[in-house]
Amino acid sequence: MTSEWRRGEFTLTTDPARIDVDAVHAFLTRSYWAEGIPRDVVARSLENSLCFALLHGERLVGFARVITDRATFGYLGDVYVLDEYRGRGLATWMMEVVHAHPELQGFRRWVLLTRDAHALYRKTGFSALAAPDRYMERHTPNAYKTKTPGAGKARRGILRPLDRDQRMSGARTMA
């Protein structure tokens, strides 16, 4: 089910057909948190999230997505508003709409990471971690800079036996 909200000239929609993946990718690939992210990764992440697109006419000027099971937990990510639209309450409105969404109610926990926009999220009830010692993460800061998936394993020798077999079968074919 898709939903839509209006505020003056702006529309917020969860309709995947109205989300301009190229526009989201263009912003994220230059962002401090997802620099270099490939377009296909952005497309896949959008397909598997509940996305909120902020539209001015049909132009996508802001975005947020929630990674969620729609029952207990939500991770809020990739929140942005284009530079020329900032400072007029649009991100605050996006956050209010996200938190009022009927499929995102009654969660035990919401989580997000931010470098400097804490004030924005405090408005909708986020606070610093009460028990940071209970949180763990697997973080791969260079995830989008590794061009060939599995290249790390190959370098460490994990894939070498396969390579050797391939070479041997190649030699047999030639013999």
Residues that bind ligand COA (CB under 6 A): 79-81, 86-92, 114, 116-117, 119-120
Is residue 63 within 8 A of residue 114, CB to CB? The reply is: no
CA dist list (Å): 84 to 70, 97, 124: 33, 21, 23
The two structure tokens encoding residue 18: 């109205």
Nearer to ligand COA, 9 or 175 (CB): 9
Minimum CB separation from ligand COA for residue 60, in Å? 13
CA–CA separation, 117 and 32 (whole Å): 13
For 86-104, give one letter per residue: b (16+ CB within 10 A) or e: eeeebbebbbebbbebeeb
Give the length of the chain: 175
Minimum CB separation from ligand COA for residue 173, in Å? 54
Nearer to ligand COA, 50 or 64 (CB): 64
Minimum CB separation from ligand COA for residue 19, in Å? 17
Minimum CB separation from ligand COA for residue 28, in Å? 10
Is residue 41 within 8 A of residue 49, CB to CB? The reply is: no
Nearer to ligand COA, 50 or 97 (CB): 97
Nearer to ligand COA, 129 or 174 (CB): 129
